[in-house]
Amino acid sequence: MVEVSRRRAIEDVASELFRARGYAATSVRDIARGLEIQGPSLYAHVTSKEDVLWAIVDRAAGRFEAAAEAASGLVTTDAPGMDPVAAMAGLVRAHVQVITEDVGAAAVFVHEWRALGDERRAAVLHRRDAYERRFREVVEAGIATGDFEMTDPALAATAVLSTLNGIPGWYRPEGRLPAGRIADHFVDLVLRMLQGASR
Amino acid sequence: MVEVSRRRAIEDVASELFRARGYAATSVRDIARGLEIQGPSLYAHVTSKEDVLWAIVDRAAGRFEAAAEAASGLVTTDAPGMDPVAAMAGLVRAHVQVITEDVGAAAVFVHEWRALGDERRAAVLHRRDAYERRFREVVEAGIATGDFEMTDPALAATAVLSTLNGIPGWYRPEGRLPAGRIADHFVDLVLRMLQGASR
């Protein structure tokens, strides 16, 4: 347990530093300083800065996947019984919640994953594609049922995720709007975007 | 002129490298290799990697600003004569066009500007705020005229720009949809998002 919580502390400190000044400008020494431990003893826990980035990105990806899976469990996502409006609202709310619950990790996931080495970056890209497919399938289902206005489903799914992934760039827990209210707004904006005039 | 085109060549090569593998993983030596010149002679043109990043980001910001200014010149943006739907469509189209005309620079602008040093990053943030204000003012005007459905204007303006700023993450000039068609789609998605059921 001590080991797990130490690793988690490293990820949290690194997330805040990567978020505040970027991955490029953060050194392992900076992370150690943030933890008030000496550089060499940090290297007992992490072998490189990229390993820390990978740990943060991998865990964030897992949280997005689990939240989407849980949201999908709440509504039927198998056509023809699926309610595309409820399914999309659930996916959007789950995504926003993962961001606002740990905005430091979400910011690193969204903004810094490209700094991973080739193999890990390819693995993240693969998972992002699978995740985006969930959104696209709901868009397609909604067009089929007439709940959503005709559009390019791939482009619309990408647009929805881009809209949500802007949140870590500005969200502050102590900001003007509470997390739940932000989720409400984004569910509304996304459904408007998909439903258009037919609502 | 030779000087200008050499600097531009440096920025183009650096944009592609920053976009492909990230700012952190790119060295001045990599940029020099991409230009097929020796490292030391590159240093005659640029004093640091951050200077190259700054040159790319500064020029991209200028292009976004000029395009928005030109788009605003095509429609009355002074309330009460403003047509908010036309104004927003113009801003969105201009923004997408700047991205698709030089997606390498746009990707660096969107994904890597946080790697700038504190002073330059603050300057970029200031310009981004002013740029976003244009979008927010059009949203506010549209709500006032009843063209747009009631929403939080600041959040909606941020959401619109997040939607558009996802484009450099996936756009390829040789891709499935031509740039003009992508712009059409995003004008449509953004207007749907703002107009909602009232369209």
Q: What is the 3-state secondary structure (H, E, C) of chain B?
A: CHHHHHHHHHHHHHHHHHHHHCCCCCCHHHHHHHCCCCHHHHCCCCCCHHHHHHHHHHHHHHHHHHHHHHHHHHCCCCCCCCCHHHHHHHHHHHHHHHHHHCHHHHHHHHHHHHHCCHHHHHHHHHHHHHHHHHHHHHHHHHHHHCCCCCCCHHHHHHHHHHHHHCHHHCCCCCCCCCHHHHHHHHHHHHHHHHHHHHC
Interface with A, mutate which of B57, B189, B194 (most A CBs under 10 A): B189
Asked if residues B188 and A151 have their Cβ atoms less than 8 Å apart, the reply is yes
Q: Which residue has the higher pLDDT, A4 or B189?
A: B189
* Predicted confidence (pLDDT) per residue in A55-114, tens digit: 999 999 999 999 999 998 776 656 566 799 999 999 999 999 999 999 999 999 998 888
Is residue A117 pLDDT above 60, yes or no? yes
pLDDT at B5: 81
Q: Is residue B49 part of a domain?
A: no
Domain membership flag for residue B35:
no
Considering A103-112, B14-23, B42-51, the range whose residues carry the highest mean pLDDT is A103-112
Question: Is residue B73's pLDDT more than 80?
Answer: no
CA distance A56 to A31: 13
Q: Is residue B31 part of a domain?
A: no
Report yes or no: B197 at the A interface, CB cutoff 8 Å: yes
Q: Which residues of A are less than 8 Å from B57 in CB distance?
A: none
Contact B199 A196 (CB under 8 A): yes
CB-CB neighbors (< 8 A) of B199 in chain A: 196-197
The pLDDT, as a whole number, for residue A24 is 84
Per-residue pLDDT at A72: 86
Please tell me which of the candidates A22, A152, A189 has its beta carbon nearest to residue B159.
A189
pLDDT at A2: 56
Within-domain flag for B44: no
Q: Which amino acid is at B92?
A: V
pLDDT of the residue at A80: 61
What is residue A198's predicted lDDT score, i.e. its pLDDT?
44
Could you tell me if residue A145 is inside a domain? yes
Percent over 90 (pLDDT), chain B: 68
Q: Over the stretch B149-182, which tens digit does the pLDDT of each residue have?
A: 999 999 999 999 999 999 999 999 999 999 999 9
Residue A36, H or E segment: none
Residues A103/A189, Cβ–Cβ less than 8 Å: no
Residue A187 lies in a domain: yes
Q: What pLDDT, on the 0 to 100 scale, is given for residue A44?
A: 73
> B185, A115: Cβ pair inside 8 Å?
no
Count of structural domains, chain A: 1
pLDDT of A38 reads 65
pLDDT, mean of residues A172-178: 94
Query: Which pLDDT does position A20 carry in this prediction?
Result: 85
- Verify whether the Cβ–Cβ distance B196 to A199 is below 8 Å: yes
Q: Which of B111, B162, B185 comes nearest A163 by C-beta?
A: B162
**Mean pLDDT of the residues in chain B:** 89
Residue B199: predicted pLDDT: 43
**Which range is least confidently modeled, A76-85, B25-34, B185-194?**
A76-85
Determine the pLDDT at residue B39.
Answer: 61
Give the whole-number percent of chain B exceeding pLDDT 70: 90
Find the CATH number of the domain harbouring B163.
Answer: 1.10.357.10
Residue A197 confidence class, pLDDT cut points 50, 70, 90: low
Q: Which residue has the higher pLDDT, B24 or A154?
A: A154
Assigned domain for A183 exists: yes
Query: Which domain, by its residues, includes A153?
Result: 50-198
Residue B170 with chain A: CB contacts under 8 Å: 158
A7-56: pLDDT as tens digits? 888 899 999 999 888 888 888 888 888 887 766 676 777 778 999 999 99
> Residue B99: what pLDDT?
98
Residue A5 lies in a domain: no
